[in-house]
Amino acid sequence: MRRCHKCQRPLPPGSSFYQLKVMLQQGFDGVIKLSKGTDLASLLKKIDDQTAGVPEHLLEGEVHREFLFWLCPRCKEKYCANPLNLPLDKSQVPQNVSDLED
């Protein structure tokens, strides 16, 4: 049976659930810094030498990864409220629903 990847709640056939696709890609700002006495060709040769024999999937994983998760409606709301799981300012989080009416 399908389950929420976050809380493990069962997600029976026909129930509401959400697919979360995450793509992580290495950034590149277009700047390549070369040390003194190093040209681009020697840098590329050095990289080629360092990666010789390393399986392609490991190299790809260093620059691009994708993940797929299933979330129940409650976990979807939690994720959307704080996708990076950053610390929250507790003074701004209501303790209960009645606190929202002030």
Does residue 64 form part of some domain? yes
Residue 100 CA to its chain's centroid (Å): 32
**Residue 71: how many CB atoms within 10 A of its CB?**
21
Q: DSSP E strands: which ranges in the chain?
A: 18-25, 64-71
Does residue 89 form part of some domain? no
Does residue 69 form part of some domain? yes
Task: Give alpha helix (H) positions in 1-102.
Answer: 40-51, 56-63, 73-81
Does residue 98 form part of some domain? no
pTM check: above 0.85? no
Domain extent, residue 13, equals 1-27+40-84
Type of residue at 89: D
**Residue 4: how many CB atoms within 10 A of its CB?**
19
Q: Please state the domain count of the chain.
A: 1
* Distance from C-alpha of 98 to C-alpha of 3, rounded to nearest angstrom: 32
The per-residue pLDDT for range 17-48, each reduced to its tens digit, is 999 999 999 999 999 888 888 888 988 998 99
